[in-house]
Amino acid sequence: MSRARKPDWLKSRPPSGREFAGIRETLREHDLHTVCEEANCPNLGECWSGRDGSDGSGQTDAGGTATFMLLGDRCSRACNFCDVKTGGMEPLDPDEPENVASAIAEIGLDYVVLTSVDRDDLPDQGAGHFAETIRAIKARHPGILVEVLIPDFRGERRLVQKIIDAEPDVIAHNVETVERLQFPVRDRRAGYAQSLSVLEYVERKSDIYTKTSIMLGHGEYDHEVYQTLADLRERGVDIVTLGQYLRPSRDHLEVRRYDHPDKYETWRRVAEEELGFLYCASGPMVRSSYKAGELFVDAVLREGKSVAAARADARRTRSQQTES
């Protein structure tokens, strides 16, 4: 398959504005990292400046949003789509959990996303540090909603359980791509079955929302995307996001295809109306920590609705759609 040319309609806004500058200054003061910067996210300017999204959802956010990256800024894995630095692992910062909690207070967030690099070099792969950060945030901000985007912890359930026990509101883990393309897209220590098992374990062992993300543009076929979505629903995943892979540098995998926004809308309908995901954010510039998904979870949880109730509502809606 030949290399694709970037279409004119695929554009992102450069970072700017008072909110953007304020978040960046706060992060520097607390010596914190964000995946927004480390992974060169195309939505950095939009999210940090609190501007309306480009996914066509019509949802807006009054304030800035940032996704905090824990466990340092260097990853023990080398996935071929990711721009985060690899190797040269450093000791964990014991002050990071409290620093993150303090930064959240200064920025004024009521929904926070935590993610991390992979730390295969650590005995517990960083799960304990991750859980400590969740608890520090919840202790200081009881009303805040916390979403975590976790590594696979090499499939070790006792480590996934540490995250569950810390009681975040959403647990996300990204399957990234279809089964056939797991390598070369992901590091060989990752894997399709391993990621599905992590998501299924969270769904079976908790009443916490589960979420995942799929990148399109690596050369996957439509039937493979559909099968991936079906596999995820079979494991009980609640929320899915689909977005366009963008090549960070010449050292990373080439983009094989750019899908038009209309195609992403088709996948959103398939995910929500046919397969039954509670919510799907789908668009070229959508990423796993995209604001549309956050707004959905925020609205449901702040209504006081349980995960089980939200799932029941979704089943009733699908039943009514089928009958009509």
pLDDT digits (tens, 9 = 90+) for 240-265: 999 999 888 888 999 999 999 999 99
- The pLDDT, as a whole number, for residue 13 is 58
What pLDDT score was predicted for residue 51? 42
Q: What gap in Å lies between CA 99 and CA 47, rounded to an integer?
A: 21
Question: pTM (2 decimals)?
Answer: 0.84
- The enclosing domain of 216 has a CATH number of 3.20.20
Does 302 fall in a domain?
yes
Q: CB 241: neighbour CB atoms within 10 A?
A: 26
Question: What are the structure tokens assigned to 300, written together?
Answer: 């449901």
Range(s) of the domain holding residue 242? 18-323
* pLDDT recorded at residue 125: 98
> Cβ contacts of residue 166 below 8 Å, gap of 6+?
130, 131, 132, 134, 135, 138
- Assigned domain for 9 exists: no
Task: Let me know if residue 1 belongs to a domain.
Answer: no
Domain count, the chain: 1
CA 68 to chain centre: 11
How do residues 122-152 score in pLDDT, each as one tens digit? 999 999 999 999 999 999 998 888 999 999 9
Round to whole Å and give the CA distance between 33 and 68: 6
Residue 6 lies in a domain: no
The chain-wide mean pLDDT, for the chain, equals 84
Q: Rounded distance, CA 117 to CA 212, Å? A: 16
Is 11 among the domain residues? Answer: no
- Helical packing angle, 157-165 and 127-140, nearest 10°: 10
Within 8 A by CB and 6+ apart from 179, the residues are 192, 224, 227, 228, 231
> Which helix (H) or strand (E) segment is 213 a member of?
strand 209-216
Q: What is the mean pLDDT of residues 263-272?
A: 96
Question: Is the CB of residue 70 less than 8 Å from the CB of residue 32?
Answer: no
Residue 7 located in a structural domain: no
Res 186 pLDDT > 90: yes
Provide the pLDDT for residue 8. 72
276 neighbors 240 (Cβ within 8 angstroms)? no
Q: What are phi and psi of 155, to 5 degrees?
A: 80, 10
Angle between helices 18-29 and 96-107 (to 10 degrees): 160
Length of the chain: 324
Domain-located, residue 257: yes
The two tokens of residue 286 are: 């959508």
Q: Is residue 176 part of a domain?
A: yes
**What pLDDT, in 10s, does the model give residues 28-74?**
676 665 555 554 555 554 554 444 444 433 333 434 456 788 999 89
* Amino acid identity, position 23: I
Structure tokens at 99: 């620093």
Q: Measuring CA to CA, which residue among 248, 252, 243, 242 is closest to residue 184?
A: 252
Name residue 209's beta-bridge partners: 170
Structure confidence by residue, pLDDT tens digits, 210-249: 999 999 999 999 999 999 999 999 999 999 999 999 888 8
